[in-house]
Amino acid sequence: MKLTHASKTLLAGLTLLGALSLTACNNDDGGVKAGDTPSGAKPTVSTGTGSSGGTGDSGTSSGSGSGSSGEGNTDTEVDDCRSDELEVTAADNTTDKTEGVITVQFKNGGGRDCALSGYAGVDLKTATGDTLSVDRNGDQPHPHVLKDGESAAFNITFPVNTTGGSGVRITNILVTPPNETKTVTIAWPAGSLPVSGEDSSDSGPKLSVGPVGKVSDSPAS
C-alpha cells in the first residue's frame, strides 16, 4: 500500500507517543515512592532523655544530672557527692563517761542523687594550732546513694578527759567527704581530750573514725 505524505506524518507521531509512554513507565518503576527509605540511608537513633539502656555504647556521660532522670533505670551510675553539695554538721552524742562520740552528718543539698560511701578524712585542730589525724576504726563500709535532702553520718570516738586538767582542747574538725579533695571545717562540739589520749597504750578508748552510714534526714541531736 502506498503511503501518502499525511499518512507518513501520522505514523511518525504515533511512534513518538509510544516511545514517550514507554520511557515514563520505566522511570516510574525505578523511582523512590513517597514514604520509602533510600537503600543507602541510615536509620536515626533517638538520644533524648528518658530512653532506657543509656549506659550502652558511649560510656562518656559527664555525670551532670546523672541518675535524676529515667526512673527505674537501675544501670545509671550515680556520681559521688561533692563537698559543695553537702551540709556538714557535728553534734556531741556522748553517753559514756570515758568514751566520747561526735556524730558528723552530711546532708545532700545538691538537688540530685549522689553517692557517699567509705570513710571521710578527719583531722582535729587544737587550740595551740596543732593537727591530730584520726585513724579509721576498721569497720566495713557500705555504698549509699543519697537523694536530695537525705543524710548520712559517721562517728568520731575519742577518750574523754577525766584527768581534771585542761587536757588537749580541740577547736575544729577538718572533714573531707569520701572520694573528695575539698575539706570542710566545722566546730568541735565536745570537751577536751586527755593529753595522752591519741598515743595512749592502755586499753582505754582510742581516737578513731567510723565509716559513713545512711541515716534519716533529721539533723543529729
**Least reliable range by pLDDT among 22-36, 50-64, 155-169:** 50-64
* Separation CA 124–CA 28 (nearest Å): 85
What per-residue confidence (pLDDT) applies to 164?
86
Which amino acid belongs to residue 22? L
Q: Quick one: pLDDT band at residue 86, thresholds 50, 70, 90?
A: very high
Instruction: Band the pLDDT of 214: cuts 50, 70, 90.
Output: very high
What is the rounded average pLDDT for all residues in the chain? 73
Task: Tell me what the mean pLDDT of segment 171-189 comes to.
Answer: 97
The average pLDDT across 142-166 equals: 94
Residue 217 — very low, low, confident or very high, per pLDDT cuts 50/70/90? Answer: very low
Residue 180, CB-side half-sphere exposure with 13 Å CA sphere: 24
Does the pLDDT value for residue 15 go beyond 70?
A: no
Predicted pLDDT of residue 22: 40
Which pTM does this prediction carry?
0.62
CATH code of domain 83-215: 2.60.40.10
User: pLDDT class for 147, splitting at 50, 70, 90?
Assistant: very high
Distance CA 151, CA 213 (A): 9
Q: What does the pLDDT average to over 69-85?
A: 70
E strand residue ranges, 98-212: 99-108, 114-115, 121-126, 131-133, 135-136, 145-146, 151-159, 170-176, 184-187, 208-209
* pLDDT tens string 109-136: 999 999 999 999 999 999 999 999 999 9
Q: What DSSP character marks residue 210? A: P
Is the pLDDT assigned to residue 140 strictly greater than 50?
A: yes
pLDDT at residue 193, as a whole number: 94
pLDDT category, 77, cuts 50, 70, 90? confident
